[in-house]
Chain A
Amino acid sequence: MSLRRGERAIEVLLFLCALASVGTTAGIIAVLAVETFAFFGEVSIVEFLTGTEWTPLFATKHFGVLPLLLGTTVVSVIALVVAVPTGLLSAIYLSEYAPERVRRVVKPVLEILAGVPTVVYGYFALTFVTPLLQQWLPGLSGFNALSPGIVMGLMILPLVSSLSEDAMRAVPRGLREGAYALGATRMQTALQVVVPAAFSGITAAVILAASRAIGETMIVAIAAGQQPRFTANPFVPIETMTAYIVQVSLGDTPQGTLEYRTIFAVGMLLFLMTFALNLLSSWLRARFREEYN
């Protein structure tokens, strides 16, 4: 009987632990929602979503979020351009070509890249990649979207390759054999049979990587600049949504002011974007699992 009571206590304890993280998330969403609501009491939501000037900290305030959104988009797109082809090719190598011994070493090493603190990536972008790029592109500013975009691509590459590789390895061996039996080469089998069969899993990996890129903060805060500009030019300083939030949080903006509330509105938008992408990604992965189980 006392044993049973012990079991019950453990169960309650475990439940409370699980509740803590759910509760925290709910709390964050609540705070975001309340502050965002207050913000839109003073600023029109139409201006926020369609304005092309973002100057909440200036004397003449404009609250158009598009420059921040565009900055985030430009950096993320550059990151994906770097990470998706490289990540996919390395996944094909690991899943279809690499001998088991090589795979067992390379995959964990690749995943260690994901464990490097992002602040290190940020300084790597600012002090190494940007000067390197400036040798080839003389017009490149010290702060720009290109360099952090590339470095962010390297950061999310392990995510793309590791998850894509998982998806490709989940493709039944029988499908590969079917292709080989028809006279397909390894590359034909990989590109024409395995990748299409793993397509939803690979797409989920890419979307998750995109969501990570959008939410990434340190790299852009350090190397992209703090100038919200409505431009797709990757050579000039810009500001992303995350970098703006850092700028205001670290500055001397008084709490409760309109300027202060902007970060909750921007944060809410950021949250909705990554949340939607994560949902899409997990939906795709669930669908993928169904296909082959």
Chain B
Amino acid sequence: MTTDVRPLPPTLSTIVRAGAQAAETAPVKIDVRDLNFYYGQKRALDGISMAIHANRVTAFIGPSGCGKSTFLRTLNRMNDIIPGARVEGAVRIDDHDAYGSGVDVVSLRRQVGMVFQKSNPFPKSIFENVAYGLRINNLTRSKAEMAERVEESLRAAAIWDEVKDRLHESALALSGGQQQRLCIARALAIRPDILLMDEPASALDPIATQRIEELVYDLKKAYTIVIVTHNMQQAARVSDYTAFFWLGRLVEYGRTDRIFTAPAEKLTEDYVTGRCG
């Protein structure tokens, strides 16, 4: 875990060059084909197809209401709990159909962790927040093992040093940035392969945002990360691939450096340069 603070680069183009190391093609982790999504009669996603690569950070960008969060939530079937929601098409994770008839949603969500826009710690202690996923899934055999997993997760989320002396205090007493890192630790504790992050830093101040971004950068060694963001600089800083959504459609998807410097679509160019959206 690095603790050095990377300076915020001044312009988009320098950021993109710095992030251009992702030249290879990693194996496909999530394969989406012709995905349509409906809230009741309203179609929110229209014919989305894309392959998300393992151990890479993929950013979803686009204006509010473009469907990027909805799409993110189809990947762990979080939309299932919304009445009237309906999905068509295929989502394959590690070549298994996520919407197949025999799929256990609970084990799918264990494999595909999620961090939300608004930090949502449970009204329990810091320790119990992280231990919760371990408890309900019976993932540890002893108290010592659980304490170990909790510490490991808090360390991975870069918050251990701040909370190690007050693990049994309420999580609600933490600052916004700490709460969000606690939620990341909570998601990591059950050892998913994929981490979905829905605008994880949008409610945070710049310093806390930077810490989350550093964390994302570190976590991709072990996880496939998909991050929704409103912030184009953030997408450019943290991601290897970027997908641009517009009105429920996937307009363009490719390596982040290319999307930001040489987009193929006029709409993408207008959006990333701030002329629309």
The chain A residues found within 8 Å of chain B, CB to CB, are 99-100, 172, 174-185, 188, 192-193, 196-197, 291
B-side interface size class: 20 to 34
Residues in B with CB closer than 8 Å to A99 are: 83
A172–B120 contact, CB under 8 A?
Answer: yes
Expressed in whole angstroms, the Cα–Cα distance for A99 and B118 within the complex equals 26
Expressed in whole angstroms, the Cα–Cα distance for A172 and B120 within the complex equals 9
Q: Of all chain A residues, which has the CB nearest B186?
A: A182
A182–B133 contact, CB under 8 A?
Answer: yes
Residues in A with CB closer than 8 Å to B124 are: 196
A182–B120 contact, CB under 8 A?
Answer: no
A181–B109 contact, CB under 8 A?
Answer: yes
Expressed in whole angstroms, the Cα–Cα distance for A182 and B116 within the complex equals 12
Q: Of all chain A residues, which has the CB nearest B84?
A: A100
Known: A178-B122, A183-B109, A184-B136. 14 other contacts (CB 8 A): A99-B83, A100-B83, A175-B120, A178-B116, A180-B78, A181-B116, A182-B113, A182-B187, A183-B110, A183-B136, A185-B106, A188-B136, A193-B122, A197-B122
Given known pairs A177-B78, A181-B76, A181-B187, the reply for A196 and B109 (CB within 8 Å) is: no
Given known pairs A99-B83, A172-B120, A175-B122, the reply for A181 and B106 (CB within 8 Å) is: no
A174–B120 contact, CB under 8 A?
Answer: yes
A183–B81 contact, CB under 8 A?
Answer: no
Considering only residues 72-122 of chain B, those with a C-beta below 8 Å from chain A are 76, 78, 81, 83, 106-107, 109-110, 113-114, 116, 118, 120-122
* Distance of B26 from chain A, by nearest CB (Å): 24
Expressed in whole angstroms, the Cα–Cα distance for A192 and B137 within the complex equals 13
Given known pairs A181-B76, A182-B133, A291-B123, the reply for A174 and B110 (CB within 8 Å) is: no
Residues in A with CB closer than 8 Å to B78 are: 177, 180-181
* Distance of A191 from chain B, by nearest CB (Å): 11
Residues in A with CB closer than 8 Å to B120 are: 172, 174-175, 177-178
Is B190 in the interface zone, CB < 8 Å from A?
yes
